[in-house]
Structure 1
Amino acid sequence: MFEGRFRSSLIEADAYLLACQRYIELNPVRASMVPAPGAYPWSSYRANALGGTDPVVTPHALYRELAGSDETRLAAYRRMFEDVLSAELLRRLRDCTNGGFVIGSPRFERQVAAMVGRRTWKGSPGRPRKESDVGEQGTLGL
């Protein structure tokens, strides 16, 4: 998923791909640039929801699985946009794209972390506390 000039995140397709498409295609609406996602000239919404042709849009298998026929698939995609994205999902997508973190289930995040050798999710602010920082009574050993 891309946001901004150089931000990208690895997405667990089964769980988050269609949610990320909604997020991206609704960005111009949230920014008050257009009244509806189909009105934005560089959106894939017209191809995915209205049946327009766009040479740069290649439908993902998950999109194709929404329905067996084109008409039903287009209607199913449009229905996805009837509900607003939850504040929690918006926060998570923004945190992940801003930090370059994986967007997926905890299991997927751990799998990717094991492959790349680093944490792939947002951590707590500050450095992790060292064992030697804590005294016997649980207070800082100053």
Structure 2
Amino acid sequence: MPRTGRIVLPHYPHHIVQRGHNRQVVFAEPADFERYLSDLRELKDALGIKVYAYCLMTNHVHLLLAPRESTSSLGQLMKALAGRMTRYRNKVEGRTGTLWESRYKSSVVQSDTYLLACSRYIELNPVRARMVARAEDYRWSSFALRLCDFSESTWLDKDPCFMELGPTEAKRRERYKTFIEMATPTNELQLIRGALQRGQLTGNMKFVDEIEKITGRRIQFRARGRPEKTA
């Protein structure tokens, strides 16, 4: 069966997952995590891509990224990140061969409804995996940066939904932390996981119709029913 063409749109957020080949460990030491994040910081600026959320697990990564006008920059970023990390780990371990699965998964996200939901999904990965008790206890996700004062130097971009949570940085951080601590609705988890697995859109039927008009393509695997609203 031929691959489904990837949907990439300028200025829209994209939830991306890339896994290690055969689920092998990609990040074994703190230096591995630090190297990947250093590359992400450098490449996002070079390619003009916004980073709204991330989480580096031991054998895969979750990213929430928004390209500008050039949609090809998203693929360029993922290719460069994968290539740099592969060369780094091969050199450290004295090995050759691939480190990642050949194709990363991606899903265009409906900003006004699911952007915060996807951020929460990404930053709660270590909690769901029972690696930590709280999101703030995990060092390698964007949650700690998100709770920093944005007036200080930080490379995490300000997503529009986070900025609407309150009139001040302190209020936004407080409300987002409360949002993270809320129980995630089951249908929200199913929607995000299913959309990512199938390369579908993370959004409601209105969003699907909107993207079909933009792309001129039929979006298959439509979800049945309307998902519950998040915060």
TM above 0.5, yes or no, is yes
Residue type at the aligned position of 2:163: R
Structure 2 distance, partners of 1:67, 1:117, is 37
Structure 2 distance, partners of 1:123, 1:73, is 33
Q: Sequence identity of aligned pairs in percent?
A: 31
* Residue deviations 1:15-69 (CA, integer Å, cap 9, x gap): 1000110000001110112221112222111122354867431111221111111
**Structure showing greater Rg:** 1
Q: 1:91 aligns with which of 173, 190, 209?
A: 190
- Following TM superposition, the consecutive aligned residue runs of length 4 or more in structure 1 with deviations greater than 2 angstroms are 49-56, 114-121
Q: 1:4 aligns with which of 18, 31, 38?
A: 18
> Mind listing any 5+ residue stretches in structure 1 that lack a counterpart?
125-142
* Residue deviations 1:60-82 (CA, integer Å, cap 9, x gap): 12211111111111101111022
Tell me the C-alpha RMSD between the 2 structures. 2.1
In structure 2, the CA distance between the partners of 1:67 and 1:98, relative to structure 1 (3 Å rule), is same
Equivalent pairs counted in the alignment come to 124
Residue type at the aligned position of 1:64: M
Structure 1 distance, partners of 2:164, 2:147, is 14
Match of 1:127 in 2: none
Residue type at the aligned position of 2:108: L
Deviates further, 85-94 or 106-115:
106-115
Residue type at the aligned position of 1:77: Y
Residue 63 in structure 1 maps to residue 162 in structure 2? yes
Give TM-score scaled by structure 1 length.
0.77
> Mind listing any 5+ residue stretches in structure 2 that lack a counterpart?
1-14, 20-103, 224-231
Kindly indicate which of the two structures has a greater share of residues assigned to strand.
Answer: 2
Match of 2:125 in 1: 27
Give TM-score scaled by structure 2 length.
0.49
